Amino acid sequence: MNFDLPPDVTRFLESLDSFINAEILPLQHADDNDRFFDHRREFARTDWGNGGLPKPEWEDLLTKARTLADKAGFYRFALPSIYGGQSHPQTNLCMAAIRYYLASHPTYGGGLGLANDLQNEHSVVGNFPDILMIHHFGSEEQRRLIPLRLEGKFRATFGLTEPGHGSDATFMETVARRVPGGFEISGSKKWQTGAHACTHFIIFARTSGKEGSGRGITAFLVPRETQGVRVVSYEWTMNMPTDHATVVLDGAFVAEEAVLGAVDEGLAIAQTFVHENRLRQAASSCGAARFCLDRSVERAKSRRIWGGKSLSENQAIQFPVVELATQVEMLRLLILKTGVDMDRVAGEAEREGKRPWVEIERQLSHQVAMCNFWANRLVCQAADRAIQIHGGDGYSRHYPFEHIYRHFRRYRITEGSEEIQVRKIAGFLFGFRESDRQQKL
């Protein structure tokens, strides 16, 4: 049994680090770009007079970083080779290792840097759930949008959550009624990330069946300019800027060609990438927790108190850090093991002509949930401990910990709340079978 990363993954991380130091960090420090990352970050990123949306110059900087990463061959790493990706047989392991590495790095870690600014889900190694959904379920015409997505000319939000429904998605109130030539969609969606710059909304609506049924939900690719579609607000959050919109659809007509996948089978599309996302999120959270603890140890060792005594000599400082560091290391190993298991299950499924994400859900959903819910909780604890050890400095915006806490706190809600994930684990441990509706969340 070997717990080392495969040599090709280690080489990739080394080349990625060299690229970041050679091209991304100089861009981050050029002109006054540091304003987006130092104590001015929230102010510099946010257009407070325009609904709290991201400032164009902030998003332009992220685009420049992605362009450099794409040119260097890193950005599309996790995509199928048909779209310029590397189609690595251990993609889940690789992406977990990459996200942990970037978030824990002593120079640009914590999820706060131009290489990997997780507030915007931005990274020089990209994550593309929308591309994979269209790749697996889209028509030939819809798949032509994928190259445009990589060029930044096509952008889609993900419209599952509603003002009154989140984890209970099968009770959604948005409905699509079949009419001559297509469908009319009525309802509302909340937390439509990226709505200010999108060209389309991926909207999930009930087309048949009863409340609570996983069947009868359809996904639609709705152009932004469709008549009857309105962005009514952008929700301000703990971390600003916001690009999280509430969208209302009032009898919005879409043609039959707008259906993504099969009618009544849209919930399967929503589940296509959920476990991959949850594992990558867990790896980022675990890495950011490591970053917070490493910085805390440095601070405790260098801070002199009471006439020259090191702060680190106090057990009240040592013991909480020891507990958190132990959890980080155990969790890191579970995350990497889960990545290996996911790659194995996916490979077996493909050889047997099955859908990999279905088999991952069936065999490993509890394990992915363990990684995700605990990592997202752990990073909040680690950031809070870092704030405490740094004292007043930790509470200030001159240090990254308050920003880390505010960002990663949202992960305990998004990608499936921790309560939903704990229930999945409980179902596995205690052997009870959830209802069809609950299984699909």
Token digits of residue 221: 């690719």
For residue range 246-298, list pLDDT tens digits in order: 999 999 999 999 999 999 999 889 888 899 999 999 999 999 999 999 999 99
Please enumerate in sequence order all residues whose Cβ is within 8 A of that of 362, keeping only pairs 6 or more positions apart, or say none: none
Buried b (16+ CB within 10 A) or exposed e, 19-36: bbeebbbebbeeeebeeb
Burial of residue 437 (number of CB atoms within 10 Å: 0-12, 13-18, 19+): middle
User: Which has the closest alpha carbon to 167: 216, 120, 212?
Assistant: 212
User: Which has the closest alpha carbon to 231: 167, 286, 281, 157?
Assistant: 157
Q: Domain ranges in the chain?
A: 7-128+269-439, 156-260
Q: What is the CATH number of domain 7-128+269-439?
A: 1.20.140.10
Identity (one letter) of the amino acid at 342? M
Task: Tell me how far apart the alpha carbons of residues 328 and 308 are, in angstroms, rounded to a whole number.
Answer: 31
Looking at residue 434, its pLDDT comes to 52
> Could you identify the residue written with the tokens 């991952």?
360
Looking at residue 149, its pLDDT comes to 95
| Cα separation values, 37 from 54, 325, 375, Å | 14, 26, 24
Burial of residue 223 (number of CB atoms within 10 Å: 0-12, 13-18, 19+): middle
pTM of the model as a whole: 0.94
Per-residue confidence of the chain (441 residues) as pLDDT tens digits? 788 999 999 999 999 999 999 999 999 999 999 999 999 999 999 999 999 999 999 999 999 999 999 999 999 999 999 999 988 889 999 999 999 999 999 999 988 899 999 888 899 999 999 999 999 999 999 999 999 999 999 999 999 999 999 888 899 999 999 999 999 999 999 999 999 999 999 999 999 999 999 899 999 999 999 999 999 999 999 999 999 999 999 999 999 999 999 999 998 898 888 999 999 999 999 999 999 999 999 999 998 888 889 988 999 999 999 999 999 999 999 999 999 999 999 999 999 999 999 999 999 999 999 999 999 999 999 999 999 999 999 999 999 999 999 999 999 998 889 999 999 999 999 988 654 444 444
Looking at residue 305, its pLDDT comes to 85
Task: Tell me how far apart the alpha carbons of residues 317 and 344 are, in angstroms, rounded to a whole number.
Answer: 41
Q: What is the CATH number of domain 156-260?
A: 2.40.110.10
Task: Tell me how far apart the alpha carbons of residues 30 and 402 are, in angstroms, rounded to a whole number.
Answer: 25
Is residue 260 a contact partner of residue 200, using CB atoms and an 8 Å limit?
Answer: no
Looking at residue 440, its pLDDT comes to 45
For residue range 131-152, list pLDDT tens digits in order: 999 999 999 999 999 999 999 9
Looking at residue 436, its pLDDT comes to 40
